[in-house]
Amino acid sequence: MSRRSSSPQAASLIDNLLEKNHHTYHMKMKNSPAKQCASFTCAIASAFGLLSLSHAVTYDVITPSNVSFIDDTGVFGSPDISNIINGSGVSSPIGVTIESTNIPSLSVTGNIDATGWRRNGGNLTGLFFTFTLQDPSTVSGILLANYFESGGPAARGMNTFTFQYSDDEGQNYYSVGTLSATQGNGGFQLIDLGTTLTGVTNVRFSSITNFGADGTGNSNIVGMNEVRFVNAVPEPSAALLGGLGVLALLRRRRA
């Protein structure tokens, strides 16, 4: 079988790596990098410098086209609910970069202003928010600027809530589960869904709780400053590493 390769040297290097790895795979090596990397994919990745302990992950930021809320107690919020999606809650555009593969570090441009939205009293039971996305989207997390007033009570922010989504423009909703947020501190937080959803047209927050009584003793005020949804963009190096792994396995089977 002829090789289809524009670089005979590269093909030879891969063959040598596979052969070397084949012989060392069954050896007992204590505290050796080869023991932790005893796979065809890992050997090739190491040779080409593709194996890395950390890298940056970029997230696409999805801005909802509309948001509404339903409150069965008849208590309305202020100012306008659209403030949580139109950028009123930040002083500059939003951009997100997650650094490190294990412990995400959120870096966002934009400072929180007290121009979001809050629900003025009543009872939290029966309150939910519905977000409409401009196009069917892939969603893996939430970018939340929790309710924050300069010098005001952070207890008014969202604490726990149920995340539901629809892929048929709101005809049916499916629950991902209960998520938790942290109190507002003038910045953004990334809330990971623990899964990646595709074709999402609508998102709903329901069963909302806050952090208890605020400075006025009211335990039923809840609000947000800004909400976006995000989707993780795969790293090019990760895709290349996967491709090399497939190549390695194919060449191994041909041997």
**Which of these ranges, 98-107, 108-117, 142-151, 176-185, has the smallest mean pLDDT?**
98-107
Specify which of 12-26, 162-176, 229-243 reaches the highest per-range mean pLDDT: 162-176
pLDDT at 122: 60
**Which of these ranges, 42-46, 135-139, 209-213, has the smallest mean pLDDT?**
42-46
Element (DSSP H or E) covering residue 225: strand 222-233
Element (DSSP H or E) covering residue 68: strand 66-71
Give Rg (Cα) of the chain: 25
pTM: 0.65
Residue type at position 190: L
**CATH code, residues 56-233:** 2.60.120.260
Over residues 96-141, the pLDDT tens digits come to: 555 544 444 444 545 555 567 877 666 677 788 999 999 999 999 9
State how far the Cα of 195 lies from the Cα of 215, in Å rounded to an integer. Answer: 37
56 touches 99 (CB < 8 A): yes
222 touches 208 (CB < 8 A): yes
Q: Is the pLDDT of residue 212 over 70?
A: yes
Query: What value does the mean pLDDT take over residues 44-54?
Result: 39
pLDDT at 77: 56
**Which of these ranges, 32-41, 117-126, 181-190, 205-214, has the smallest mean pLDDT?**
32-41
Structure-block tokens of residue 117: 């939205």
Structure-block tokens of residue 252: 């191994």
Over residues 57-97, the pLDDT tens digits come to: 778 889 999 998 877 555 555 567 888 898 877 665 555 55
State how far the Cα of 17 lies from the Cα of 244, in Å rounded to an integer. Answer: 12
Provide the percentage of residues in the chain whose pLDDT is more than 70.
50
Is residue 192 classed as helix, strand or coil in its secondary structure? strand
pLDDT at 52: 40
State how far the Cα of 86 lies from the Cα of 185, in Å rounded to an integer. Answer: 20
pLDDT at 168: 97
Provide the percentage of residues in the chain whose pLDDT is more than 90.
26
Sorted by sequence, the CB contacts under 8 Å of residue 159 that are 6+ apart come out as 180, 181, 208, 209, 210, 211
State how far the Cα of 151 lies from the Cα of 229, in Å rounded to an integer. Answer: 28
Specify which of 36-45, 66-75, 183-192 reaches the highest per-range mean pLDDT: 183-192
For the chain, give the mean pLDDT: 69
Q: Is the pLDDT of residue 255 over 50?
A: yes
95 touches 108 (CB < 8 A): yes
Name the residue ranges covered by the structural domains of the chain.
8-52+236-254, 56-233
**Cis before residue 153, ω within 30 degrees of 0?**
no
Terminal-to-terminal C-alpha distance of the chain: 11
